[in-house]
Amino acid sequence: MTREPPAAQGRPFPVTVDAQLRETLEATGLEPADIERDPRATIRASVERDASEPIDVAARLAGEELEIHETLGEGGMGVVRGAIQPRLGRPVAVKELRPEHVDEAAVRKLVREAWVIGGLEHPNVIPVHDIRIDANGLPQIVLKRVEGEDWSALLREPDRIRERFGVEDVLEQNIRILMQVSNAISFAHSRGILHRDIKPENVMIGQFGEIYVADWGLAVAMEDDGTGRFPLARDVHTIGGTPAYMAPEQAWGGGRLGPWTDVYLLGATLYELVVGRPPHRGETFGALMHAIATSRPELPEDLSPALAALLRRAMDPQPTERFESAEAFRLALGAFLEHRGAARLVAGARASLDRLRELAGRADAAQDEVYRVFGQCRFACQQALEQWPHAEEAQDALREASVLLVERELSRGEPEAARALLAEVAEPPEALAARVEAAVEARVREESRLRGLARDLHPATGKRLRIWLASVVGVAWTLLPLTIEYARRTGWPMPHTGALTWNSIGVVALLIGGVAFWNRIKQSALTRRLWLATLTVSGIQLVMHGGDTFAGVDAMSTTIHQFPVWSAIALGLTVGVDVWFLVPAALYAGAFLLLSVYPELAFPLMSACNASVLVVVFRLSRRG
C-alpha cells in the first residue's frame, strides 16, 4: 500500500521513487533531497525501544564470574584455559598458575607478564583484557582468545602452511610471518621491553592468518621506569631462555642483555625456518653450551649466499656485529624477499660458474661448450643485476667467470679475445691486465713478422729486379763460354788468368750490385737466394781457377771439373728455390759425363747448361 508523503514536508517525491522506498524514507523521516545533499553521510534510523533494557542487562551481568571451560594449553608453571566473559559475551583465554607451582615468585612472574603485555598494544601481541583474582586469591590474566595454533606445529607440516595462507613458497611465507614477529619485537623494544624467548613455539597463528607473539614471561625492562613493576635486564645474572635458540650472552649472564639479544633470537628462528631445526645442539650440557657460546651453526651448502650472510650477521657471537635493531633485521628480511628472484638467478649463475671452472681448466674442452656455459652464467648475472643493481654476489660471479675465460683465451693464444673479455670486467686484476697487454703486443709483433715473411716470400715482391738480374747474368753466362770457345778455336790460348779475370769481374760486379741494390734485394727471399746463388757460383769458379793455377792444372781441366759443382748447386736450388732447377742440375751432370769422352765440347756445353739456368731463373723472375 502506498501513501502520499505528509503535507508538512512540502515536496512531492519524484515519480521514479518506488513505493516501498517512499514508505521506508517516510519511516526514517528523510526526503530524497536529504540524501542528495550528502550521500556519504550515515543514515541512522531511530528505533523506539525500552531504553532501560541494556542497563538492566549490564546490572545483571556485573557480578558474574568467568565461565571457564576446556584447557587450551599448558606450560612449565602455567595453564591456559578457554572461558566466556559474560559481561561482553565473548570467548577469552585465561592464563593462571598450575596449583603445584603456586608460590610468591610464580605469582610475581604472572602479574609482571600481564603488566608487560598490557603495555604493548600492538597488532602482533595478544591483547590483555583484564587481570583478576580468582576464588582462591590467585591472579588470572584474561587474554584475547586466539583460535589457532603455535607456529612450530605448522612448521612440521608445510602443506598446512600452503593451505592456510594459499601460497606455494613455504619459506617466503614463513619469512613474512617472521617479519611480523620482528615488528612486534621492535615495538616492544621501543617500549623498553626485551622478550628473551623468541621461538616458533611462542608465536601463535590465528585461524585467519593473524600473527601473535606470545609468552612474555621472561620479558625484562631495559630501563627502570620507577614503578618497580619489571625486572631489569642489567640485573639478570643467571641463565634464561631456550638453550636451542639462546644467544651467547643469555648463557653467561652478567647483565649484558639488550636489543641485540632479541635480534639473535630472531636470527635463530630464521635458522630453523631454513634448516628445519634450531641452531644449537649438543649431546651433553657442555657441548650445548659450547655451541651457544661459539655460535657457529652449520649452514647448508646450497643455501642462498644472501640468506647465509643474513643469518651469520643476525647470529654473530659478538652483539656489536649483529643487526643494530629488530627493525633493521626486519628490513633485511624484506630486502631478501624483494630480491629473491635475483638471488635465484645468482644461484643459477653460480652453478654455471662451477661448471665453467671445470671446463676452463681442461685443454680438451670444446670451445663452443665453454662459451655456452659462460653465456649462461653471464646472462643470469646480468638479469640479477637488472633486478638488483647492488647484488655483490652477481657482480663477483660475473667477474670470476670473465676472468676464467680471459685466462683460457690467453692459454689458447688469443690475446685479442682475452682483451675484449677483460674490457667487460670492472676493475680487472692489474697483473692479469698486464699479461693481456703483453700478449697483445707480442701478437702484434708476431703478425708484423708474419706479414713481412709473407711479403718476403711472395713471388711478386722484387719481380722486376729478378728479371733484370736474370737477364744480365744469364746472358753473360750464356754468351761468355761461346766467346771463349770462339777465341780458343781461332788460336787464342786458354790461360787461368783470363778465367780469373772474368770471374773476379763477375764477383766484384755482384758485390757492388748487392750493396747498391740491397734494400730491394732484401725485400724478397727469392731475389736474395738467386743473388746469393749467382755470387756463390762465381766465387766457386774464382776459387777453383785460382787454386788450379797454383797447382799447375790446366784451365780446360778446371773448367770441366766445375760441371759437377754447378750440378750440385743447381740441385741445392731445387730444394731451396724451385723444383725446375732439377733440369739444369741434370744437364750439368750429363754434360760432365759427356766431357769425359769429348773434352773439347766444354764451352759449348757450358753455354747450353747456363742457358737452361737462364730459362729457369727467367721463369721464376716472372712469377707473381
CA distance 523 to 301: 65
Stretch 128-135: mean pLDDT? 85
Cell numbers found for residue 300: 647448508
The span from the CA of 390 to the CA of 338, in Å, is 13
> Which of 584, 578, 624, 581 minimizes the C-alpha distance to 465?
624
DSSP H stretches of helix in 227-366: 248-252, 259-275, 285-294, 305-314, 326-338, 340-360
Q: Look at residue 1 and tell me whether its pLDDT is greater than 60.
A: no
Segment 190-211 shows an average pLDDT of 92
At 432-460, the pLDDT tens digits run 989 999 988 988 888 887 777 767 666 66
Q: Under a CB-based contact definition with an 8 Å cutoff, are residues 505 and 515 in contact?
A: no
pLDDT at 526 over 60: yes
Q: Is the full-model pTM beyond 0.85?
A: no
The per-residue pLDDT for 427 is 83
Q: What are the Cα distances from residue 168, in Å, to 55, 158, 161, 165?
A: 52, 10, 9, 9
- Grid look-up 766445375 returns 562
Higher pLDDT, 2 or 59: 59
Lowest mean pLDDT among 55-69, 511-525, 578-592: 55-69
Give the span between the Cα atoms of 241 and 135, in whole angstroms: 32
Q: Is the pLDDT of residue 428 over 90?
A: no
Domain layout of the chain by residue ranges: 7-37, 66-145, 148-338, 340-455, 458-622
For the stretch 261-273, pLDDT in tens is: 999 999 999 999 9
d(CA 240, CA 196): 8
**C-alpha grid cell for residue 78?**
602455567
List C-alpha distances in Å: 242 to 155, 186, 220, 279, 476. Answer: 18, 20, 15, 11, 113
User: Residue 49: its pLDDT value, please?
Assistant: 45
Stated as kind and residue range, the H or E segment containing 470 is: helix 463-489
pLDDT of residue 213: 94
Q: Would you tell me which CATH number, out of the four given (3.30.470.20, 3.30.420.40, 2.60.40.420, 3.30.200.20), belongs to the domain 66-145?
A: 3.30.200.20
CA angle 59, 64, 67 (to 5 degrees): 145
Q: Is a pLDDT exceeding 80 seen at residue 374?
A: yes
Calpha distance 219→116 (Å, rounded): 7
Strand order in 148-150's β-sheet?
A: 148-150, 203-206, 211-213
CATH domain 148-338 topology? Transferase(Phosphotransferase); domain 1 (1.10.510)
CA–CA dist 542, 502 (Å, integer): 9
Model pLDDT, residue 177: 96
Q: What is the pLDDT of residues 550-589, one digit of tens each?
A: 777 777 787 888 888 888 888 887 886 778 889 989 998 9
Q: If phi over 0 gives left and psi between -120 and 50 gives alpha, with beta otherwise, what is residue 196? A: left
pLDDT tens digits, 79-108: 888 888 887 888 888 988 888 878 888 888
Show Cβ contacts of residue 340 under 8 Å, excluding neighbours closer than 6 positions. Answer: 172, 304
Residue 296's pLDDT is 86
C-alpha cell at 610: 747456363
Residue 318 — pLDDT band, cuts 50, 70, 90?
Answer: very high
pLDDT in tens, 140-190: 888 888 888 899 999 999 999 998 888 889 999 999 999 999 999 999 999
- Residues of the chain with pLDDT > 70, as a percent, come to 85
Backbone φ, ψ for residue 206 (5° rounding) = -70, 170
> Left (φ > 0), alpha (ψ -120 to 50) or beta: where does 84 sit?
beta
Going by their DSSP bridges, the two strands 148-150 and 203-206 should be labelled as: antiparallel
Name the residues annotated as catalytic. Answer: 197
Q: What is the DSSP string of 503-551?
A: HHHHHHHHHHHHHHTHHHHTT-HHHHHHHHHHHHHHHHHHHHHHHHHHH
